[in-house]
């Protein structure tokens, strides 16, 4: 019996060894080498140099040749990511990953992203269409040259990618539209608050705060919401502690970008700093790249699937984006009668199409999609009007950023950007800094702000075109010497067009502004080091106020922990973790007392602190009873929920453990493959409410710093690396610098010498 057991163990060991050897061979054969190739349409040879991080510098005689080479490099490093992106947009993920992907496929089939992208291609300006075709030719050249060796994921899934088409690139653009502007759930949730008392609804849906950081002034300033006044009516309904969500960081979405005038910098030239916050992916959202075209250098990040740079710098201008938070999507409550939707005194047709979704393993799901002339019908007979779903709205002028010969031409190129609407923050070699929005802003009838679903039967509720590009506001060289955007309310009431009812909370923008004001007041001249310190700042004034108000109602050990806390979200401490739970407990108790549904609103924050700091009379007027009893109950709820999630040993709690980076590769969800495909899970400082935005699955998707006093020393870091290939040395090699920072630019400098021989691409 013992001999049999030994034989079985030996056989098992041999099998494991054999499987390991097979996996090793598969991994190695799919890693790209330094071989070049032919790309159809090149006018002359292009060289691709790789530095010690695997970041490519493309040297080409023309922008068109550079974009063909970019497609080739993107396929080399991110072939499987390209495949996942286009399948996601077109609603074909279930063909790869089975029924788990059906919710995404259903959503994108209802939106019809694939059809919109296909219809948009012939409507593009000729040069933009040619740019997409050039990029696609490079992708397809690599696909053909490496057929059967494009990546381990293709081997395991036993699939090969089809040709990349211009419509696939536009479909990728639509995915970014979705992440940045799809607010239908917020709008629907806000609509459910209509039945609440007006003072409660106004409190829960603030339109402004007392300390917004506007770039276009108010005239007059909108008032921050007053505390609810129910005349003391209402009995608090107390939720169980178990109802508190202590893990999910809601409303983390955001980005930071600021520009500092040369009058405030050590170099005497402007500094541009950008760190867009997006959902983390494996491979990462961005692919860093440099272009040297006819002697002109451009560098930054590309969005895999799209041509040219999205964020970065040319020889003349550096720029970054933050989401404008513009409302470009409206829900309409339709009156459907058979295959018709009521419009005024008549009807409009409701079209139907049948979508067939194939599921890996042989299953098929049929989905009937109904649409009105406004857009597709969602559950509950809500139609959606969205700039993303109009093929005539899709434009991709990125290539013009590489073609721009001077500052004026580059800034003018943003007029061709039709969405999703962004704050563009820029700094130029000439010494100017500035801000402007870019993208389409719908014009609605007076009094309609799009914050809740409206009556679909009234034609007066339809959009009335878009704000002309020449009427979008601009700020150039402001007297304070800097420009700050962090998704806050940038456009005040002096602007004649409606932009949004749901701006981002201004906490991050206020903190960045205050740090720059402190530097100016002290005479400190800003360098890249100080700019990166601002990007990595971990302090939240919002959470500091929350914690301070709760201190009298906490157990002694937690009261000592939070007493005098400055709001820093330090990974090694439990302070931010406790403060966040207290804030959620306050919110959940109040919502239950007001019988309000749970919902999300980006501008929340100061309103809850105003309530916290109010007196007993205000609590009673708001229908929350005695202040001390209410807050003591909320504190107890929070502590019990934390103990249930993190254990009863409170000294062992830490924000870092709760905030570990947790990013999944698509194949990391397969049992037994997480170790191979998923990246490391380090603890993180920072939080949703700090300039260093950080949550397990969302955060700084890059950090860019350009000092025009030394432009060739510009730095850029992404969370993981340039390569998407398992076992590549460049798959996660940027993670240490992304976590720790690199103020000296030793490891994140964009301009670095090539490592090894160049790759040559021929016509």
742 three-class SS: coil
At 4 the pLDDT is 59
Geometric angle at alpha carbon 239, from 233 and 245, rounded to 5°: 130
User: Would you list the domain boundaries of the chain?
Assistant: 1-30, 199-243+538-658
Bridge pairing between strands 759-762 and 37-38? parallel
At 221 the pLDDT is 82
Please report, for residues 280, 584, 630, the alpha-carbon distance to residue 616 in angstroms, rounded to integers and kept in the order given.
Answer: 43, 20, 10
Q: Report the pLDDT averaged over residues 692-716.
A: 95
| Residue showing tokens 């409009």 | 348
**Assigned architecture for domain 199-243+538-658:** Orthogonal Bundle (1.10)
Residue 590 pLDDT greater than 60, yes or no: yes
pLDDT digits (tens, 9 = 90+) for 131-155: 999 999 999 999 999 999 999 999 9
Contact 386, 375 (CB under 8 A): yes
Residue 437 pLDDT greater than 90, yes or no: yes
Helix axes 528-535, 507-522, angle to 10 degrees: 150
pLDDT digits (tens, 9 = 90+) for 264-293: 999 999 999 999 999 999 999 999 999 999
* Beta bridge mates, 442: 466
Residue 235 pLDDT greater than 60, yes or no: no
**What DSSP assignment string belongs to 535-601?**
HT--B-HHHHHHHHHHGGGS-HHHHHHHTT---B--TT-SHHHHHHHHHHHHHHHHHHHTTPPP---
pLDDT digits (tens, 9 = 90+) for 60-112: 999 999 999 999 999 999 999 999 999 999 999 999 999 999 999 999 999 99
Helix axes 627-646, 575-593, angle to 10 degrees: 130
* Beta bridge mates, 290: 57, 299
pLDDT digits (tens, 9 = 90+) for 349-385: 999 999 999 999 888 999 999 999 999 999 889 999 9
At 184 the pLDDT is 83
Q: Mean of the per-residue pLDDT values for the chain?
A: 92
pLDDT digits (tens, 9 = 90+) for 497-528: 999 999 999 999 999 999 999 999 999 999 99
pLDDT digits (tens, 9 = 90+) for 615-663: 999 999 999 999 999 999 999 999 999 999 999 999 999 999 999 999 9
At 544 the pLDDT is 97
Residue 323 pLDDT greater than 60, yes or no: yes
* Beta bridge mates, 261: none
Residue 2 pLDDT greater than 70, yes or no: no
Q: Please state the three-class secondary structure of 490-518 as a single string.
A: CECCCCCCCCCCCCCCCHHHHHHHHHHHH
Q: Please state the three-class secondary structure of 103-145 as a single string.
A: HHHHHHHHHCHHHHHHHHHHHCCHHHHHHHHHHHHHHHHHHHH
**What predicted TM-score, i.e. pTM, was given to this entire model?**
0.94
Helix axes 63-90, 102-111, angle to 10 degrees: 110
- Using 50, 70 and 90 to split pLDDT, how confident is the model at 244? low
At 455 the pLDDT is 93
Residue 610 pLDDT greater than 90, yes or no: yes
**How far apart are alpha carbons 57 and 51 in whole angstroms?**
8
Residue 295 pLDDT greater than 60, yes or no: yes
**How far apart are alpha carbons 601 and 614 in whole angstroms?**
22
Which two tokens mark 105?
């496929």
Helix axes 166-181, 126-145, angle to 10 degrees: 110
**How far apart are alpha carbons 619 and 184 in whole angstroms?**
32
Non-local (6+) Cβ contacts of 405 within 8 A are none
Q: How many CA atoms does the CB half-sphere of 569 hold within 13 Å?
A: 30
Non-local (6+) Cβ contacts of 430 within 8 A are 316, 407
Neighbour count for residue 556 (Cβ, 10 Å): 7
**How far apart are alpha carbons 692 and 703 in whole angstroms?**
10
The runs of H, that is alpha helices, within 404-540 are 407-413, 507-522, 528-535
Q: Report the pLDDT averaged over residues 312-321.
A: 97
pLDDT digits (tens, 9 = 90+) for 190-228: 888 888 999 999 999 999 998 899 999 999 888 888 999
pLDDT digits (tens, 9 = 90+) for 447-479: 888 888 999 899 999 999 999 999 999 999 999
**How far apart are alpha carbons 120 and 130 in whole angstroms?**
13
For residue 682, give the nearest of 651, 645, 656, 653 by alpha carbon: 656
| Residue showing tokens 């850029």 | 716
At 211 the pLDDT is 87
At 231 the pLDDT is 81
At 242 the pLDDT is 43
At 603 the pLDDT is 84
Residue 3 pLDDT greater than 70, yes or no: no
**What DSSP assignment string belongs to 620-680?**
HHTT---HHHHHHHHHHHHHHHHHHHH-S-GGG--HHHHT------GGGGSTT-HHHHSPP
Burial 571-607 (b: 16+ CB within 10 A, else e): bebbbbbbbbbbbbbbbbbbbebbebeebebbbbbbb
**How far apart are alpha carbons 183 and 171 in whole angstroms?**
19
Neighbour count for residue 242 (Cβ, 10 Å): 10
At 109 the pLDDT is 97
Cis peptide upstream of residue 725 (ω within 30 degrees of 0): no
Burial class (CB in 10 A: 0-12, 13-18, 19+), 367: middle
pLDDT digits (tens, 9 = 90+) for 528-581: 999 999 999 999 999 999 999 999 999 999 999 999 999 999 999 999 999 999
Residue 169 pLDDT greater than 90, yes or no: yes
């Amino acid at each position: 019996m013992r001999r049999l057991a030994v034989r079985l163990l030996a056989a098992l060991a041999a099998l494991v060894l054999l499987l390991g050897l097979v996996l090793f061979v598969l991994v190695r054969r799919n890693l790209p080498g330094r071989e070049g190739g032919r790309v159809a349409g090149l006018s002359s040879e292009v060289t691709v140099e790789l530095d010690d991080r695997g970041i490519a510098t493309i040297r080409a005689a023309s922008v068109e040749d550079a974009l063909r080479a970019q497609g080739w490099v993107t396929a080399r490093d991110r072939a499987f990511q390209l495949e996942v992106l286009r399948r996601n947009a077109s609603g074909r993920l279930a063909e790869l990953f089975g029924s788990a992907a059906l919710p995404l496929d259903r959503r994108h089939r209802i939106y019809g992203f694939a059809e919109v992208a296909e219809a948009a291609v012939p409507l593009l300006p000729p040069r933009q269409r040619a740019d997409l075709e050039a990029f696609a030719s490079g992708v397809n050249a690599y696909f053909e040259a490496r057929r059967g060796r494009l990546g381990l994921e293709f081997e395991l899934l036993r699939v090969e990618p089809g040709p990349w088409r211009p419509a696939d690139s536009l479909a990728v653009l639509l995915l970014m539209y979705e992440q940045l502007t799809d607010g239908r759930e917020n709008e629907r949730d806000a609509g459910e608050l209509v039945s609440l008392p007006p003072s409660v609804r106004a409190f829960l849906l603030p339109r402004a705060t007392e300390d917004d950081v506007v770039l276009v002034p108010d005239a007059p300033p909108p008032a921050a919401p007053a505390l609810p006044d129910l005349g003391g009516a209402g009995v608090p309904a107390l939720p169980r502690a178990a109802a508190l969500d202590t893990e999910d960081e809601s409303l983390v979405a955001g980005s930071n970008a600021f520009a500092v005038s040369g009058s405030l910098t050590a170099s005497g030239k402007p500094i541009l700093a950008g760190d867009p916050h997006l959902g983390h992916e494996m491979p990462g959202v961005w692919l860093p790249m440099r272009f040297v075209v006819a002697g002109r250098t451009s560098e930054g990040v590309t969005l895999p699937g799209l041509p040219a740079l999205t964020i970065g710098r040319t020889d003349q201008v550096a720029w970054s984006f933050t989401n404008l938070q513009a409302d470009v999507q409206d829900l309409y409550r339709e009156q459907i009668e058979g295959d018709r939707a009521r419009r005024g005194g008549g009807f409009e047709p409701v079209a139907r199409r049948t979508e067939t979704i194939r599921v890996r393993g042989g299953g098929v799901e049929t989905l009937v999609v109904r649409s009105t002339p406004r857009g597709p019908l969602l559950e509950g007979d809500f139609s959606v009007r969205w700039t993303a779903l109009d093929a005539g709205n899709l434009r991709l002028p990125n290539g013009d950023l590489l073609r721009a010969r001077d500052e004026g031409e580059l800034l003018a190129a943003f007029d061709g950007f039709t969405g999703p609407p962004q704050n563009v923050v820029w700094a130029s070699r000439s010494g100017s800094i500035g801000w402007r929005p870019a993208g389409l802003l719908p014009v609605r009838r007076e009094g309609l702000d799009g914050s809740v679903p409206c009556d679909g039967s009234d034609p007066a509720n339809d959009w009335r075109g878009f704000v002309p590009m020449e009427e979008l506001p601009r700020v150039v060289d402001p007297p304070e010497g800097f420009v700050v955007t962090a998704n806050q309310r940038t456009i005040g009431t002096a602007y004649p067009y409606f932009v949004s009812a749901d701006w981002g909370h201004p906490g991050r923008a206020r903190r960045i502004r205050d740090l720059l004001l402190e530097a100016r007041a002290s005479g400190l001249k800003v360098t890249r080091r100080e700019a990166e310190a601002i990007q990595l700042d971990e302090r939240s004034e919002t959470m500091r106020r929350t914690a301070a108000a709760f201190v009298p109602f906490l157990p002694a050990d937690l009261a000592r922990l939070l007493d005098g806390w400055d709001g820093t979200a330090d990974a090694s401490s439990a302070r931010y973790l406790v403060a966040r739970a207290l804030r959620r407990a306050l919110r959940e108790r109040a919502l239950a007392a007001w019988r309000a549904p749970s919902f999300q609103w980006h501008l929340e924050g100061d309103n809850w602190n105003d309530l916290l700091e109010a007196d007993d009379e205000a609590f009673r007027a708001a229908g929350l009873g005695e202040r001390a009893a209410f807050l003591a109950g909320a504190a107890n709820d929070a502590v019990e929920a934390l103990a249930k999630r993190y254990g009863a040993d409170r000294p062992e709690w830490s924000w870092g453990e709760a905030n570990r980076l947790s990013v999944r590769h698509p194949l990391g969800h397969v049992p037994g493959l997480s170790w191979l495909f998923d990246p490391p899970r380090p603890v993180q400082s920072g939080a949703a409410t700090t300039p260093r935005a950080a949550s397990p699955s969302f955060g700084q998707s890059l950090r860019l710093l350009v000092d025009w006093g030394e432009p060739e020393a510009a730095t850029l870091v992404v969370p993981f690396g340039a390569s998407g290939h398992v076992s590549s040395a460049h798959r996660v090699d940027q993670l240490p610098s992304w976590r720790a920072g690199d103020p000296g630019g030793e490891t994140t400098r964009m301009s670095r010498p090539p490592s090894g021989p160049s790759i040559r691409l021929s016509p």
